[in-house]
Amino acid sequence: VELILQALEYEIEHGKVLDEFFLSTAGKFQTEIGKSWAAEIISRRKSLTAERLR
């Protein structure tokens, strides 16, 4: 979870796209809390991406 959170922060701060971090961790989280946090991070990333495309 920390990996994708840091990737999201880097994307925001530097305007880069780091898909490889999100793709490499997709489906890997095993605990419910890990899945929940990952889903929240991915949701925020999608929202930010949609805002940039407007």
Q: What are phi and psi of 38, to 5 degrees?
A: -60, -40
For residue range 19-49, what is the model confidence (pLDDT) as tens digits? 999 999 999 999 999 999 999 999 999 999 9
| The pLDDT value given to residue 54 | 84
Helix (H) or strand (E) holding 4: helix 2-14
Give me the mean pLDDT over the 4-15 stretch.
Answer: 97
What was the pLDDT predicted at 40? 98
Domain count, the chain: 1
Q: Is 9 left (phi over 0), alpha (psi -120 to 50) or beta?
A: alpha
**Residue 52 clears pLDDT 90, i.e. is over it:** no
Helix axes 32-53, 2-14, angle to 10 degrees: 10
10 is in which domain, residue-wise? Answer: 2-53
- pTM confidence score: 0.89
